[in-house]
Amino acid sequence: MERILVIKVGGNIIDKEEALHQFLQDLSKINTPKILIHGGGKIATQLSKQLGIESKLVNGRRITDEKTIDVVTMVYAGLINKKIVAQLQANNCNAIGICGADANSILSHKRVNNLIDYGFVGDIDEVNMDFFLSLLEKQLTPIIAPITHDKNGLLLNTNADSLAAAIAIALSKDKKVSFYYCFEKNGLMENVNNDDSIISHVKSSEIEQLKEKQIITDGMLPKIDNIKYALENGVEKVILCHAQNILSNVNENAKFGTTFTKN
Amino acid sequence: MERILVIKVGGNIIDKEEALHQFLQDLSKINTPKILIHGGGKIATQLSKQLGIESKLVNGRRITDEKTIDVVTMVYAGLINKKIVAQLQANNCNAIGICGADANSILSHKRVNNLIDYGFVGDIDEVNMDFFLSLLEKQLTPIIAPITHDKNGLLLNTNADSLAAAIAIALSKDKKVSFYYCFEKNGLMENVNNDDSIISHVKSSEIEQLKEKQIITDGMLPKIDNIKYALENGVEKVILCHAQNILSNVNENAKFGTTFTKN
């Protein structure tokens, strides 16, 4: 096991049954050892609404209160995670669904912020690399829900992008890691309105310049900051691509997306 | 690893926060390799009600329709399972929460019945013993939610008692298994109204007689049938006891409960 693929799939794919189905079929065809981290999508928000749980915002930031952590635990670590696992199993991919509390695999702490109490939100402290490697060695494919724990009994809502980056970084200490960031766009585009204007390669050092040029803006900013952080902490390459291109990108050297490298 | 404890804890304990908390603290103190199977409790029913999902009965039997399998997957494999894992982790017990779809650990088929379509209910076909042994060898404690899969993509609601018995039987092929059946009573009682009338030992061959004498009745019948089935299929002993006595029973040779053996 020389190379490991760490694959993040976003909520926008999770929400679309057919897109998710195709993505999981493609994922099953990848033979390289792989770990999937999935986002949450809209199901938790819909469920909260149905249950009459108001979504709380403080200074424009979403708060995870006690009822909401229960809902996201149910939806992310229960419904979404197990549906993904069952579909992968049907495609002969031996998946195992876990969250960060399982096997103490991802340790976090409740976010400390003097201005806003975010509630049950976790910032990651430690990834148990040995555990993930032991699963991969057994030809298992870990499927990770974005819920972590503080080892004092609290489950914590954790940003799936940060979680994926933390896992990619941890595994990079021992292995070569290709980190695939799959979402509903084709990659980073020179012109956001032109799907053919994909920038095929970006060096970490060019990122600030792309921000200044407004090529990296808005919703792309936190994603790219995560990518930069991953590259600066040992991840060999990050591929930002459409979820529907995961298989062709793995087989054809990231032809259909943007590849980020340190140098 | 000579002996393995397979421990089933019932829904009535799951529903009581303090009782569950104490049970998990006690469980953490048990050093013998162990597997916990948990029931569902009332949370799923309450959630279904809140969501306006009607509970469907056909000929008095509960049906698991499409909305209900989503709810039980959320609640059993998500909320309850991960809360148990987080609490055990806080007590330094290295728990890992899974359902039967994970690592293809418990394979079932959708129940076939000519008279009633039970919906998404699974009857167990196979337990992946090697997977459970590999977790135990790594000093992990598997925590199993009563959701299985058919390897064709369906998640299936599965009776937790049957699931626990199937796991105990599977592990008995290779190891000595003590199967603890923990619930809200002290064991099998000669007189159901007298807590001190516990029958300390029952042989498998005596079970039919106890049914005739009406000592085994009502809700106890399926439990005892499961116990009998486990004994007839290789499980060395089954201990029926109160959840609050799990630790003392493990340490003091099942003193506070009813022990069932084949002979």
Give residue B17's domain range: 3-39+85-109+122-261
Integer angstrom CA distances of residue B101 from A40, A97, A227, B146, B148: 20, 8, 32, 10, 5
B78 is a domain residue: no
Name the amino acid, one letter, at B262: K
A46 is a domain residue: yes
Burial of A30 (0-12, 13-18, 19+ CB in 10 A): middle
Q: Is B148 helix (H, G, I), strand (E, B) or coil?
A: strand
B203 is a domain residue: yes
Q: Do B86 and A74 touch (CB under 8 A)?
A: no
Residues A261, A236: contact at Cβ < 8 Å? yes
Task: Tell me what pLDDT residue B77 has.
Answer: 98
Residues A97, A82: contact at Cβ < 8 Å? yes
Task: Tell me what pLDDT residue B219 has.
Answer: 83
Q: State the Cα–Cα distance between residues A115 and A254, nearest whole angstrom.
A: 42
For B16-72, write each residue's pLDDT tens digit: 999 999 999 999 999 999 999 998 889 999 999 999 998 887 777 778 999 999 999
Task: Tell me what pLDDT residue B142 has.
Answer: 98
Task: Tell me what pLDDT residue A80 has.
Answer: 97
> Could you say which residues of chain B have pLDDT below 70?
none
> Could you say which residues of chain A have pLDDT below 70?
none
Name the amino acid, one letter, at A77: A
Question: DSSP labels for B76-108?
Answer: IIIIIHHHHHHHHHHTT--EEEE-TTGGG-EEE
Task: Tell me what pLDDT residue A55 has.
Answer: 80
Give how many domains chain A has, as a whole number: 1
Integer angstrom CA distances of residue A253 from A30, A200, A206, B172, B202: 13, 11, 21, 48, 66
- B78 touching chain A per CB within 8 A: yes
For A23-62, write each residue's pLDDT tens digit: 999 999 999 999 999 988 899 999 999 999 988 877 777 7
A1 is a domain residue: no
Residues B106, B130: contact at Cβ < 8 Å? no
Residues A211, A200: contact at Cβ < 8 Å? no
Q: Do A89 and B104 touch (CB under 8 A)?
A: yes
- B234 touching chain A per CB within 8 A: no
- A153 touching chain B per CB within 8 A: yes
In angstroms, the first-to-last Cα distance of chain B is: 25
Among the partner-chain residues A70, A74, A85, the one whose CB lies closest to the CB of B102 is A85
- A53 touching chain B per CB within 8 A: no
Contacts of B73 in chain A (CB under 8 A): 78-79, 82-83
Residues B187, B240: contact at Cβ < 8 Å? yes
B138 is a domain residue: yes
Task: Tell me what pLDDT residue A114 has.
Answer: 82
B59 is a domain residue: no
Contacts of B79 in chain A (CB under 8 A): 70, 73-74, 78
Residues B181, B238: contact at Cβ < 8 Å? yes
Task: Tell me what pLDDT residue A54 has.
Answer: 86
- B151 touching chain A per CB within 8 A: yes
Task: Tell me what pLDDT residue B11 has.
Answer: 86
A196 is a domain residue: yes
CATH code at position A231: 3.40.1160.10
Against a cut of 0.90, is the pTM above it? yes
Burial of A173 (0-12, 13-18, 19+ CB in 10 A): exposed
Task: Tell me what pLDDT residue A115 has.
Answer: 82
Task: Tell me what pLDDT residue B78 has.
Answer: 98
A68 is a domain residue: yes
